[in-house]
Structure 1
Amino acid sequence: MVFDCETTGLAPSQGDEIVSIGAVRIHRGQVMHGETFELLANPGRPIPALATSIHGISDEDIADAPPVEEVVRRFHAYAGDAVLVGFNIAFDMRFLRLKQRRCDVRFDNPTLDALLLSILLHDHTGEHTMESVAERLGVGVGGRHTALGDSLTTAEIFTRLIELLPGESISTLSEAISAQERMVEFRRQQRAF
């Protein structure tokens, strides 16, 4: 299942909150456009103008939305034990994991990152933004910087990346997870020099 969060900012440990979660299921390599999740969340604080300028969600939009904790619990129920996929998923997972205790849920699902898989498969290119990866793979980008729009775009990117993984001798979930972990470690070592 592919998901994305829109937030009040980039620093959840400094009080930034989720304002929207969107998700779509993938079944047997097909994006299930009829099986989506999309909820606005009231972060309990004003949404900064900069954040609104990116995702378009204003204080008025979330005034009657359920609190973040309820939205996180509902998303957790929707996700179940599915593999969670995202584009730069560490960002979104950080927001969710910081809410686990308060929401009495646990996000211990396996995760795959479409960004890391793109880097693994196309490291020769310097561009790994969602737009550049989508263009390289022939995926249209719609609803950019909306949780559901980015989920749908990432799902289409992910299904195309999965088709390319056997060329890298990656054919199982555990092999894909190991490959992305190696990419993280390789990038960490590169930054050290």
Structure 2
Amino acid sequence: MELKLNRPICFFDLETTGVDVAKDRIVEIAIFKVYPNGNKESKTWLVNPEMKIPFLSTQVHGITDEKVANEPTFKELSGQIYNMIKDSDLAGFNSDRFDIPLLAEELLRAGVDFDMKNRVSVDVQTIFHKMEERTLSAAYKFYCGQLLENAHSAEADTMATYEILKAQLERYPELENDMKLLSEFTTRKKSVDFAGFIALNDKGQEIFTFGKHKGALVEKVLEEEPGYFGWIQNADFPLYTKKVLTAIKLRKLNNKLS
């Protein structure tokens, strides 16, 4: 089964220095782009993270400091990467909780104003977990009947994710071959920022999901405690969370002025 697309979709996978979205960096990125007319293109880049790769991370993906020492930095690659994904929906394996938030941080750090406003994301892992509860290698064997060679290679994981989604659509007739509906199915919660520090309540209003203001309306907190905004901006929160919070504050200000 081929995907029914109204716009291109980019399957992608990251290998990184670690799992902290705010602090860790990309060391490899693979993107597999599928167009509505069936055309496909694939790119893989090794990335110099400008920091030491922890030994435990190297044990997972096999990428060493020496291997990336002469590779371009993410900032140097950011234009190519953004040009490949800017017109596309996004898909990956655990991408909503990790790959997309970390990619967004890297792009924002490189000066690229990335957001998800005009695109959807499909997390193939969520479909898998809702239907079968497994891992990527097990998913590939279960859905595609093959062993996943070179697991934790960004390119191998990316291609496997693409094949798994097609197989999932074949296996589950209740799943619509529509990226917007698949995005809704794979969305775990109504987060406004990728990291989940700001979410929507039942009325569609932004609320904080952490700390002393957990459950409180963001606009109300910013109005009653202006210093809270500055604290978040200066603390170790993801750049995308700070970007979202700034947008909410500016919206409130514009509403007052109008």
- Counting only pairs closer than 5 Å after superposition, residues 59-70 of structure 1 correspond to structure 2 as 59-70=65-76
Question: Cα 1:114–1:179, aligned 2, differ >3 Å: closer, same or farther?
Answer: same
1:128 match: secondary structure: coil
- Give the stretch that moved more between structures: 21-30 or 72-81: 21-30
Q: Write the letter of the residue equivalent to 1:26.
A: V
CA-to-aligned-CA distance 1:68-123 (integer Å, 9 cap, x gap): 22233321111231111100002111111112333232142321000111233x2x
Query: 2:169 corresponds to which residue?
Result: 162
The equivalences for 1:18-97 within 5 A come to 18-27=26-35, 32=40, 35-90=41-96, 91-97=98-104
Structure 1 residues 79 and 180: alpha-carbon distance in aligned structure 2, compared to 1, 3 A threshold: same
CA distance in 2, matches of 1:93, 1:74: 17
Indicate the SS of the match to 2:142.
Answer: helix
In structure 2, the gaps of 5 or more residues are 1-9, 190-258
Alpha-carbon distance, 1:138 to partner: 2.1
SS at match of 1:19: strand
RMSD of the TM alignment (CA)?
Answer: 2.1
Given the superposition, is the C-alpha separation of residues 92 and 102 from structure 1 closer, same or farther in structure 2, using an over 3 Å criterion? same
Partner of 2:151: 144
Q: Deviations over 1:157-192 (max 9, x none)?
A: 111123345x215242222122222xx24xxxxxxx
Is structure 2 residue 134 aligned with structure 1 residue 111? no
* CA distance in 2 between partners of 1:168 and 1:151 (Å): 24
Name structure 1 gaps, 5 residues minimum. Answer: 186-193
Report the secondary structure of 1:9's partner residue: coil
Rounded to whole Å, the distance in 2 between the matches of 1:25 and 1:142 is 21
Residue 220 of structure 2 aligns with which residue?
none
Q: How does 1:165-184 map to 2 (within 5 A)?
A: 165=172, 167-168=173-174, 170-181=176-187, 184=188
Larger Rg: 2
Quick one: which amino acid aligns to residue 170 of structure 2?
Answer: E
Task: Work out the percentage of aligned pairs sharing the same amino acid.
Answer: 27
* Inter-CA distance 80–162: structure 2 relative to 1 (3 Å threshold): farther
What is the match of residue 214 of structure 2? none
The answer as to whether partners of 2:18 and 2:25 remain within 8 angstroms in 1 is yes
Which residue does 1:7 correspond to in 2? Answer: 16
In the TM superposition, residue 5 of structure 1 has moved relative to its aligned partner by 0.4
Looking at structure 1, the residues matched to 115 and 186 of structure 2 have their Cα atoms a distance apart, in angstroms, of 19
Q: Tell me, yes or no, if the aligned pair for 2:17 and 2:26 is still in contact at 8 Å.
A: yes
Contact kept in structure 2, 1:142 and 1:153, CA below 8 Å: no
Once residues 43 and 115 of structure 2 are traced to their aligned partners in structure 1, the CA distance between those partners, rounded to angstroms, is 17
| CA-CA distance at 1:67 after TM superposition | 0.8
CA distance in 2, matches of 1:44, 1:172: 39
**Which structure has greater helix proportion?**
1
Q: Aligned partners of 1:28 and 1:161: how far apart in 2?
A: 19
Which structure has more relative contact order (CA 8 Å, sep 6+)? It is 1
Give the 3 Å change call, closer, same or farther, for CA 37–48 of structure 1 in structure 2. Answer: same
SS in 2 for 1:158: helix
**CA gap 1:169/1:36 in 2 versus in 1, 3 angstroms:** closer
Structure 2 counterpart of 1:18, which letter? I
**Whole-angstrom CA distance in 2 between matches of 1:144 and 1:169:** 27
Instruction: Kindly provide the amino acid, as one letter, of the partner of residue 125 in structure 2.
Output: L
How does the TM-score come out when normalised to structure 1? 0.81
